[in-house]
Amino acid sequence: MQFHGACVSSPIMSSFNILLERSVASLHALRQTQIDTYAAYSRITLWTFDLLINLDREQELIWSEGLRASSLLYYAVRYPVIARQIFYVCYTGMEYVSQVRYPFVLGSKVLNCKIADVQTLIAHCNLWYQFVSVWSLLIPRVAIALSFILRVYAVMHGGRFYVAILSFLGLFSSVLDIVQIKQISCTEMSNPLGESQPKPCPSDAAPKLKVNSSLTKPPLAFVMTFISLIVFDVIACTLILWKMVEVIRQQGGFRTVRRLADGSIATLIIQNGALYFIIITGIQLGAVILYFLPQPSGPLKLIIFKGLYSTVLNDYTLIISTILVARLILDLKGYFRRTSRPGIEAEPYLTSLSFAENGTELGVSTGQRTTISGQWVHGLVRDFEGSNAVGARETRSMSEMGDVGRR
- Domains annotated for the chain, with CATH where assigned, are 13-339 (1.20.1070)
Contact 73, 384 (CB under 8 A): no
Q: What is residue 156's three-state secondary structure? A: coil
Query: What pLDDT score does 37 carry?
Result: 80
Burial category of 43 from C-beta neighbours within 10 Å (exposed 0-12, middle 13-18, buried 19 and up): buried
Query: What pLDDT score does 237 carry?
Result: 84
Radius of gyration of the chain (CA): 27
pLDDT lower than 70: segments of the chain: 1-31, 91-124, 158, 184-219, 251-267, 293-310, 340-407
Full-model pTM? 0.68
Burial category of 5 from C-beta neighbours within 10 Å (exposed 0-12, middle 13-18, buried 19 and up): buried
Q: How far apart are CA 226 and CA 281, in angstroms?
A: 10
Whole-Å CA distances, 62 to 327, 334, 381 = 12, 10, 15
